[in-house]
Chains A and B, each alone.
Chain A
């Protein structure tokens, strides 16, 4: 991976994010809300909470390859090895009193929540995950129940989600001891929308040939769009990163020297194997230029003038809750923009909701788009589900196949 100048700022944003929360957890002020990755973060931040994302912690546990050590502890509690490994590694980390935050930031434990807020748009597992903490820590648990497998979205669905978000306010007021402030909420939605627009622009620089960055870079640089959306810092970050990417395009600097093939990554990252996969693909002159995963934090619909409704829309139009026909059209539109010549599906053992190979989509898309697809088996965090040697052989064979076309 070629380093970005902006990485220094990224490290500062992430350090501030965790250190501020550590301080707040110790002082009891401001209050801390745990939120699922595509939960109502704008509302929480708009009501003065610092927001902590356990899925981000799960990704850190995966990336540091600590996850596989912790998952068995949660399995022993009765949580199956087949369910979300973010859940099992995160709870295992809590049980073992060990977190990557210790080494990265000198923080002894993840910040204790004052309230837990989920949105089931990712899966049911996030609610089960937060429910465990609600019982363990005796903290209020509230959330939004999303619609799933949606084709055409109707006003009914949007309004329902908007009302569910409004319905969170009384509990949040009680926990924070502060009244809901519409102006502050709208401002947070505006900042989140601005961040989202910039994140889209950042990702779309990969439409350039050669691409100035890869999916593997994006999984690192997406952190502010995930954990700091709704803040000025996140907006500022992408305003720093985008010029750097544009400069690379202007200078003809490729993320992968001699880029010969361009791929789309469908499914979760394999957090513990980002570097080896990045290096393997670079050695094969192949750049993964786009992914559904990184695109999942683009919320174009957010509108400060209609904050609840637009959140309802943003959180209902998400790829992950849509039907197969929508998902195929979505990837087709990405194909038109990013001009990839193959799709790599990651079938994540513990993440059926985000493994889109399981109902014949690779075969349908290969036929429809006239390109090659490959499915590799693995997992987001549980490396017991991943055979590195087999995946390497499959990826090399796939690139050999592209060479024959």
Chain B
């Protein structure tokens, strides 16, 4: 039996294929766009191609997650992304952990006990602060390709202070910093710091912290900044962008094995 996890997020759709031994067979990531069902289909086909599998999709047991979890035509069930990120992270770090998931439009802090049971979770309020959308907006304002942010932040020697919660107010602050001749790299590091500060305001963190999600996958320097703030190592799962989909696939395996 093959199991699939489909994570239809606000920015990207992720599909992973998993074998009976929890081995990853293939995966795919595509922009979610406007037709979630079609993208989920396309992702599945791409993941099957990557895995070199020619199986009838009906022989795959699937759990979907993410904002578009109800739009996946071939799914056999769905779970929230909170549960799936938790399950995916616990698979890599099976102990009591605090998970920080930074997604395209929201972020989450999830507390798990040593058995992987969820104790608590918090999501950001209705605000882009601390999310991928915040960085996307700022990259646009600074006219910098999104993929350049991480290297720029690394080059910074002195991050600028950005105090606002609000994305729009932050953009105004950034303009002020440009006017005062601050280096772009220092501004970008200030933006990264802003993301981390917003997350740290959400909840208390346990000793072992895992950071995951697409934003960290493309901006691994966020992990370094978080470590600097916490004064301890922070863990990142092997495929941070795929963690929700991996969790969904694990749920599919758990739900449909021997059934």
Q: Identify the A interface with B (CB < 8 A).
A: 366, 372, 375, 377, 385-387, 389-390, 393-394, 396-397, 400-401, 404-405
Kindly state whether residue B141 has any CB partner on chain A within 8 Å.
no
Contact of A390 (CB < 8 Å), options: B79, B117, B123: B123
Indicate if the CB atoms of B121 and A390 lie closer than 8 Å.
no
Q: Which residues of A have CB within 8 Å of B122? A: 375
* Residue among B80, B83, B106 with the highest chain A CB neighbour number at 10 A: B80
Indicate if the CB atoms of A377 and B120 lie closer than 8 Å.
no
Q: Which residues of A have CB within 8 Å of B91? A: none
Assembled-state Cα–Cα distance A302/B120 (Å): 41
Given contacts A385-B126, A387-B126, contact A404 B117 (CB under 8 A): yes
8 pairs of A and B residues whose beta carbons are closest in the complex: A397-B82, A397-B80, A401-B118, A400-B83, A404-B117, A387-B126, A396-B80, A377-B125
Assembled-state Cα–Cα distance A316/B102 (Å): 46
Assembled-state Cα–Cα distance A396/B67 (Å): 12
Given contacts A366-B120, A404-B117, contact A397 B83 (CB under 8 A): yes
Contact of B123 (CB < 8 Å), options: A366, A394, A401, A404: A394
Binary CB contact string for chain B from 119 to 137 against chain A (1 if under 8 A, 0 otherwise): 0111101100000000000
Kindly state whether residue B186 has any CB partner on chain A within 8 Å.
no
Assembled-state Cα–Cα distance A141/B66 (Å): 53
Given contacts A387-B126, A393-B81, contact A372 B106 (CB under 8 A): no
Q: Give the residues from 86 to 135 in chain B that come closer than 8 angstroms, CB to CB, to chain A.
A: 106, 117-118, 120-123, 125-126
Indicate if the CB atoms of A405 and B117 lie closer than 8 Å.
yes
Indicate if the CB atoms of B120 and A389 lie closer than 8 Å.
no
Instruction: Contacts A393-B81, A401-B83 known; list 12 others, CB within 8 Å.
Output: A372-B120, A375-B122, A385-B126, A393-B80, A393-B82, A394-B123, A396-B80, A397-B81, A397-B82, A400-B79, A400-B83, A401-B120
Indicate if the CB atoms of B126 and A377 lie closer than 8 Å.
yes
Indicate if the CB atoms of B121 and A401 lie closer than 8 Å.
yes
Indicate if the CB atoms of A397 and B125 lie closer than 8 Å.
no
Given contacts A389-B67, A390-B106, contact A397 B121 (CB under 8 A): yes
Assembled-state Cα–Cα distance A366/B126 (Å): 24
Given contacts A393-B82, A397-B82, contact A404 B125 (CB under 8 A): no
Q: Which residues of B have CB within 8 Å of A394? A: 82, 123
Q: Which residues of B have CB within 8 Å of A366? A: 120
* Residue among B83, B106, B123, B125 with the highest chain A CB neighbour number at 10 A: B123
Number of A-B contacts (CB under 8 A): 38
Indicate if the CB atoms of A404 and B118 lie closer than 8 Å.
yes
Q: Which residues of A have CB within 8 Å of B118? A: 400-401, 404
Indicate if the CB atoms of B126 and A390 lie closer than 8 Å.
yes
Q: Which residues of A have CB within 8 Å of B67? A: 389, 393
List 17 contacting pairs A-B, 8 Å CB cutoff, sorted by A: A377-B126, A385-B126, A390-B123, A393-B81, A393-B82, A393-B123, A396-B80, A397-B82, A397-B83, A397-B121, A400-B79, A400-B80, A400-B82, A400-B83, A400-B118, A401-B118, A401-B120
Assembled-state Cα–Cα distance A396/B79 (Å): 8
In the complex, residue of chain B having the shortest beta-carbon distance to the beta carbon of A393? B80
Assembled-state Cα–Cα distance A389/B121 (Å): 17
Q: Which residues of A have CB within 8 Å of B81? A: 393, 397
Assembled-state Cα–Cα distance A385/B125 (Å): 10
Determine how close the nearest CB of chain B comes to the CB of A347; give it in whole angstroms: 8
Determine how close the nearest CB of chain A comes to the CB of B165; give it in whole angstroms: 14
Assembled-state Cα–Cα distance A153/B82 (Å): 44
In the complex, residue of chain A having the shortest beta-carbon distance to the beta carbon of B203? A363
Determine how close the nearest CB of chain B comes to the CB of A398; give it in whole angstroms: 8
Q: Which residues of B have CB within 8 Å of A385? A: 126
Q: Which residues of B have CB within 8 Å of A404? A: 117-118
* Residue among A366, A372, A401 with the highest chain B CB neighbour number at 10 A: A401
Assembled-state Cα–Cα distance A170/B58 (Å): 80
Q: Which residues of A have CB within 8 Å of B79? A: 400
Q: Which residues of A have CB within 8 Å of B125? A: 377
In the complex, residue of chain A having the shortest beta-carbon distance to the beta carbon of B118? A401
Assembled-state Cα–Cα distance A404/B121 (Å): 13
Q: Which residues of B have CB within 8 Å of A375? A: 122
Assembled-state Cα–Cα distance A390/B67 (Å): 9
* Residue among A366, A372, A385, A404 with the highest chain B CB neighbour number at 10 A: A404
Q: Which residues of A have CB within 8 Å of B117? A: 404-405
Determine how close the nearest CB of chain A comes to the CB of B167; give it in whole angstroms: 15
Assembled-state Cα–Cα distance A86/B106 (Å): 29
In the complex, residue of chain B having the shortest beta-carbon distance to the beta carbon of A373? B120
Assembled-state Cα–Cα distance A386/B126 (Å): 8
Determine how close the nearest CB of chain A comes to the CB of B155; give it in whole angstroms: 35
Binary CB contact string for chain B from 70 to 88 against chain A (1 if under 8 A, 0 otherwise): 0000000001111100000
Determine how close the nearest CB of chain B comes to the CB of A254; give it in whole angstroms: 24
Q: Give the residues from 191 to 227 in chain B that come closer than 8 angstroms, CB to CB, to chain A.
A: none
Q: Which residues of A have CB within 8 Å of B126? A: 377, 385-387, 390
In the complex, residue of chain A having the shortest beta-carbon distance to the beta carbon of B125? A377
Q: Which residues of A have CB within 8 Å of B123? A: 390, 393-394
